[in-house]
Amino acid sequence: MRSKFTELTFNIIMRMVTGKRYFGEETEGFELEEAIVFRGIARDVFELSGATSMVDWLPFLRWVDFQNLEGRMLSVRKNMDGFLDGLIEECRTKRDCRNIINETLRLFPSVPLLAPHEPSEDCTIAGYHVQRGTMVLINAWAIHRDPNLWEDHSSFRPERFEGVKGEAYRLKLMPFGLGRRACPGAPLAYRVVGLVLATLVQCLDWKKVSEESVDLVEGFGLSMPKATPLKAMFKARQSMINVLEGI
């Protein structure tokens, strides 16, 4: 039973930290190679933390590296650093939250019509001749839902942005405009929205007020608010109360 309780404890801790478990049956999302590395590190840490070194009693044995405890500790630290670096790099490369934000801004841009522009010289846009000084309004809402640009354009699919970088969608997704006159606060907005969204999901349990589906009908206004405001109930997760108190 001791081994089972040990595995349960480690699974609880690592599920809280990484969202993964490293003991038990191999189910969906179970990464065996990563689990083997973690088990080895945990075993070595516990073994070395309780080991008795004869060097503490007979210091001259240090000259011959008796028991090689120091070398084993350095090896465990190296393995632990590599394991943790891998988890940190995985967090950096996984863009689930950013993909959700991008898809939300695609379907529901905060400002459907971008700031008016005036071309400094005559130009041609999509086959239309635009004279210098003409006021041009960019309909970001229409561009974001153009079936010629987006596959399954009316569906909420954050995975469409998975692995996509650079020009592949930068010129199609423009919630903050493009070019030199784009909103200078866009990088800050992405960081703040990502932080707030992740905090709301991690720290709170959410529930709808009624069993009806959320009404996504758009209302009237400069920022295109919802026609029917969202009503939801939330409850702070017990394990996250200290985090919320520090915000």
Q: Is the pTM of this model over 0.75?
A: no
Q: Please name which of 171, 116, 108 lies closest in space to residue 138, comparing C-alpha atoms.
A: 116
Of 35, 62, 94, which one is at a domain's C-terminal end?
Answer: 94
Q: Specify whether the CB–CB gap between 194 and 170 falls below 8 A.
A: no
Helix axes 69-93, 32-49, angle to 10 degrees: 140
Each residue's pLDDT expressed in tens, for the chain with a length of 247 residues: 777 888 788 888 887 777 777 887 765 555 778 888 888 888 888 887 776 777 767 776 667 666 777 778 888 888 888 888 888 777 766 677 888 889 999 998 888 888 888 888 999 887 889 999 899 888 999 999 999 989 999 899 998 888 776 566 677 888 888 878 888 888 888 888 888 888 888 889 999 888 888 888 888 877 778 888 888 999 998 888 887 887 7
What is the model's pLDDT at position 64?
Answer: 67
Q: Quick one: pLDDT at residue 147?
A: 92
Structural domains counted in the chain = 2
The pLDDT of residue 22: 83
* Residue 51 shares a structural domain with residue 134: no
What is the per-residue pLDDT for 8? Answer: 82
Residue whose C-alpha is closest to residue 112's, from 85, 78, 139: 139
Asked whether residue 158 falls in the same domain as residue 229, the answer is yes
Same domain, 104 and 217: yes
Instruction: Using CB atoms within 10 Å of the CB of residue 60, give its burial: 0 to 12 exposed, 13 to 18 middle, 19+ buried.
Output: exposed
> Would you list which residues are annotated within the binding site?
183
Q: What angle do CA 185, 191, 231 make, to 5 degrees?
A: 100
> Do 126 and 6 belong together in one domain?
no
Look at residue 19 and give its three-state secondary structure.
coil
84 and 9 within one domain: yes
Domain co-membership, 177 together with 234: yes
Q: What is the pLDDT of residue 128?
A: 87
| Same domain? 171 vs 64 | no
Same domain, 82 and 201: no
Q: What is the dihedral of CA 121, 124, 125, 130, to 10 degrees?
A: 60
Annotated binding site for heme, which residues? 183
Facing residues of 124 across strands? 129
Strands (E) located in 93-246:
123-125, 128-130, 204-208, 232-236
* Domain identity same for 203 and 217: yes
Q: Which residues pair with 113 in a beta bridge?
A: 139
Task: Identify whether residues 112 and 201 lie together within a single domain.
Answer: yes
Please give the residue range of the domain that contains residue 70: 2-94
Please say which residue of 94, 116, 140 terminates a domain.
94
Question: Which of 22, 1, 3, 2 lies closest to 12 in space, CA to CA?
Answer: 22
Let me know whether 120 and 188 are in one domain.
yes
Q: What is the CATH classification number for the domain harbouring 173?
A: 1.10.630.10
Same domain, 238 and 116: yes
What whole-number distance in Å separates Cα of residue 69 and Cα of residue 88?
Answer: 28
Q: Which of 94, 114, 137 is the last residue of a domain?
A: 94
Count Cα atoms within 13 angstroms, Cβ side, for 80: 11
CA 228 to chain centre: 29
